């Protein structure tokens, strides 16, 4: 009887995951979808605690389980509630790492149980335990590095031959695992723990050389890794909900990773391996004589913007870093009060993660209808008086269209040059993430407005109010 109820619990869990994911991919239903998946997860978890049995024996150690759940829930809720919207990507990475670690630890305990008598189980069980360990550990270590990188705690790091080193490391992990799986002996248990350590090391070296701008793609990839690690647990315990949940995330995560790469117009392999040439990119555009750029004062900007009919704001990474989304919304309001039509043009990869800019602007109460996607915005630029670019660079770089030797060649961009006047706010003339010069800054229509985005916007708002 109880087992049948548990089966139903797992069925509900699996179905809610599918429905939840489906709903998460539409703006109107997304929030409900998340709650539905969460409810299904709750049913599956409590069903397991109270109804699960193996050979007629129920689970024990309730005190431990509930203490663990309480600590995890408390810490998780606090962390999730307190994190700033701009720090969202590293938070996701951190939680992903926790899941990976959890999967690896399950393999450690299960291995501890059977390692005294390795002959008692078949080699496929060992294969699953090793797979869970390796994937979980790589996902954990990689996510931690991604988290620290987004935080600015560690910098990109690559050494000569890292590519080869990583491949050798990975080969060693596979060989050692295969050796144990085919010769399971109690005396060889150290191999398991060595593989654990090597997998952690591999996770670190896998992510370390990849550039900060590509972290979202890496996090998405590691996300699908953790899904597969969870599915290994599903095989181990014959547990359908772990299997569906894990595999679903594994495949959906992979597709999402590819979609993200597509938005940047870069193949995944380029993101993962391309980093090795990263140090040389900076020199690409420097040899060309770019000519002069012109500066514009805050006063002048205030004047042109308030007498314009149509203004489009192009927010980018710089806006996110300066946490200027609220002031930006204020600027939009003072301009709207003067009868100026203000909208935002959002490039698919603006911000620190695809879609991140929308979340940031939504946080600042910017109306959803004011956000225009790239295709929409590109039709509007020609009839626009002023385009204000806030901390965006590569997404407005015309080199993506004109210069086949540019690393971002082929990436779809916002055609801001069609507007009558382009004002670019940047902290300095330093090139953007991709490390390439931007011709746009040197065009006659373009004026540079230097300074921290938040600071500049505050002054701009104050200035417009006095006009």
Partner 1 sequence: MEQLLNWFTIHQQMIYIVILSIFLGIEVIGRVPSVLHTPLMSGANAIHGVVIIGAIIVMGKAEHDNYVALLVGFLAVVLGTLNVVGGFVVTDRMLEMFKRKK
Within 256-295, the residues that bind partner 1 by CB under 8 A are 256, 259-260, 263
Query: Rounded to an integer, what distance in angstroms lies between the CA atom of residue 426 and that of residue 432?
Result: 10
**From the list 1, 56, 109, 375, which residue makes contact with partner 1 (rule: CB under 8 A)?**
109
Q: Is 3 in the site for partner 1 (CB under 8 A)?
A: no
Determine if 59 is a binding residue for partner 1 (CB under 8 A). Answer: yes
Q: Which of 333, 365, 382, 383 binds partner 1 (CB under 8 A)?
A: 365
Q: Which two tokens stand for residue 260?
A: 């993200």
Rounded Cα distance, 255 and 110, in Å? 31
| Choice between 27 and 404, CB closer to partner 1 | 27
Q: Which stretch binds partner 1 (CB under 8 A): 53-61, 378-386, 412-420, 436-444?
A: 53-61
- Name which of 168 and 255 has its Cβ closer to partner 1: 255
Exposed, middle or buried: residue 150 (CB in 10 Å: 0-12, 13-18, 19+)? Answer: buried
CA–CA dist 157, 342 (Å, integer): 42
Sheet holding 371-373, edge to edge: 294-295, 446-450, 421-426, 386-390, 310-315, 341-346, 371-373
Q: Which residues contact 114 (CB under 8 A, 6 or more apart)?
A: 120, 121, 125
What does the block give as tokens for 439? 């011709």
Residue whose CB is less far from partner 1, 10 or 381: 10
In angstroms, what is the minimal distance from the CB of 355 to partner 1? Answer: 4
CA angle 216, 218, 224 (to 5 degrees): 105
Question: Would you call 214 a catalytic residue per the annotation?
Answer: no
Read off the tokens for 109: 């305990």
Is 249 within 8 Å of 24 (Cβ atoms)?
A: no
Among 201, 247, 268, 321, binds partner 1 (CB under 8 A): 247
How far is the CA of 418 from the CAs of 26, 33, 111, 422, in angstroms?
A: 32, 40, 63, 9
Nearer to partner 1, 107 or 393 (CB): 107
Q: Could you say whether residue 184 binds partner 1 (CB under 8 A)?
A: no
The Cα 188–Cα 179 span in angstroms is 9
The only residue of 249, 302, 322, 400 in contact with partner 1, by rule CB under 8 A:
249
Instruction: Report the C-alpha gap between 259 and 253 in whole angstroms.
Output: 10
Task: Establish if 353 lies at the interface with partner 1 (CB under 8 A).
Answer: yes
CB of 371 to partner 1, least distance (A): 8
Q: How far apart are CA 182 and CA 280, in angstroms?
A: 45
Q: By CB under 8 A, what part of segment 216-235 binds partner 1?
A: 216, 219-220, 223-224, 226-227, 229-231, 233-235
Told to check if 177 binds partner 1 by CB under 8 A, we report no
Binding to partner 1 (CB under 8 A) within 116-175 occurs at 122-124
x/- map, 64-83, partner 1, by CB under 8 A: xx-xxx-xxx-xxx-xxx-x
User: Counting contacts by CB under 8 A, is residue 442 touching partner 1?
Assistant: no
Tell me if 319 contacts partner 1 by CB under 8 A: no
Q: DSSP code of 307?
A: T
By CB under 8 A, what part of segment 79-108 binds partner 1? 79-81, 83, 85, 88-89, 91-92, 94-96, 98-99, 101-103, 105-106, 108
Label residue 391 left, alpha or beta by phi (over 0 means left) and psi (-120 to 50 means alpha).
Answer: left
How far is residue 146's CA from residue 353's CA, in Å, rounded to a whole number? Answer: 13
Nearer to partner 1, 102 or 273 (CB): 102
214/463 with CB nearer partner 1: 214
Q: Which is nearest to 330 in space by CA: 362, 366, 305?
A: 366
Find tokens 């595999």 and name the residue.
247
Where does this chain touch partner 1 (CB under 8 A) — which range of 109-117, 192-200, 381-389, 416-424?
109-117
For partner 1, give the closer residue by CB, 20 or 435. Answer: 20
Q: How far is the CB of 236 from partner 1 (least distance, A)?
A: 7
Active-site annotation holder among 394, 403, 415, 452: 394
* Between 176 and 258, CB nearer to partner 1: 258
Q: Does residue number 24 form part of the binding site for partner 1 (CB under 8 A)?
A: yes
Residue 412: CB minimum distance to partner 1, A? 11
| Catalytic positions, written as ranges | 394
């Amino acid at each position: 009887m109880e087992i049948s109820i548990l089966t139903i619990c797992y069925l509900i869990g699996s179905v809610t995951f599918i429905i939840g994911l489906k709903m998460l991919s539409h703006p109107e239903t997304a929030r409900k979808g998340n709650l539905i998946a969460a409810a299904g997860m709750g049913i599956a978890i409590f069903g397991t605690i109270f109804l699960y049995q193996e050979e007629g024996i129920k689970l024990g150690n309730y005190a431990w389980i509930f203490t663990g759940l309480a600590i995890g829930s408390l810490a998780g809720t606090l962390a999730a509630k307190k994190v700033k919207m701009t720090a969202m990507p590293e938070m996701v990475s951190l939680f992903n790492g926790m899941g990976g670690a959890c999967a690896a630890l399950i393999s450690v305990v299960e291995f501890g149980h059977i390692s005294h008598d390795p002959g008692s189980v078949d080699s496929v069980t060992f294969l699953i335990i090793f797979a869970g360990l390796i994937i979980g550990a790589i996902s954990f270590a990689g996510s931690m590095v991604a988290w620290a990188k987004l935080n600015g705690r560690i910098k990109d790091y690559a050494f000569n031959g890292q590519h080869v080193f990583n491949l050798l490391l990975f080969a060693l992990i596979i060989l050692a695992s295969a050796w144990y799986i085919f010769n399971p002996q109690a005396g060889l248990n150290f191999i398991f723990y060595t593989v654990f350590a090597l997998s952690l090391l591999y996770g670190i070296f896998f992510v370390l050389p990849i550039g900060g701008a590509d972290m979202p793609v890496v996090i998405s990839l590691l996300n699908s890794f953790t899904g597969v690690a969870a599915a290994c647990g599903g095989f181990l315990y014959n547990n359908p909900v772990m299997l569906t949940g894990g595999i679903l995330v594994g495949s959906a995560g992979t597709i999402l990773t590819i979609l993200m790469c597509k938005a940047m117009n870069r193949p995944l392999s380029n993101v993962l391996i391309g980093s090795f040439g990263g140090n040389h990119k900076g020199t690409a555009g420097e040899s060309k004589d770019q000519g002069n750029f012109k500066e514009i004062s805050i006063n002048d900007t205030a004047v042109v913007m308030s007498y314009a009919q149509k203004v489009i704001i192009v927010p980018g990474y710089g806006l996110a870093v300066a946490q200027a989304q609220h002031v930006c919304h204020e600027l939009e309001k003072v301009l709207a009060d003067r009868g100026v039509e203000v909208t935002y043009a959002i490039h698919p990869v603006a911000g620190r993660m695809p879609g991140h800019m929308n979340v940031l602007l939504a946080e600042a109460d910017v109306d959803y209808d004011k956000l225009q996607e790239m295709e929409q915005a590109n039709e509007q630029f020609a009839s626009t008086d002023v385009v204000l670019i806030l901390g965006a660079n590569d997404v407005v770089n015309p080199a993506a269209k004109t210069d086949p030797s540019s690393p971002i060649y082929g990436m779809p961009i916002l055609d801001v040059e069609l507007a009558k006047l382009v004002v670019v706010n940047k902290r300095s003339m330093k090139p953007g993430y991709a490390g390439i010069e931007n011709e746009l800054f040197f065009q006659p229509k373009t004026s540079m407005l230097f300074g921290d985005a938040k600071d500049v916007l505050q002054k701009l708002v104050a200035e417009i109010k006095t006009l």
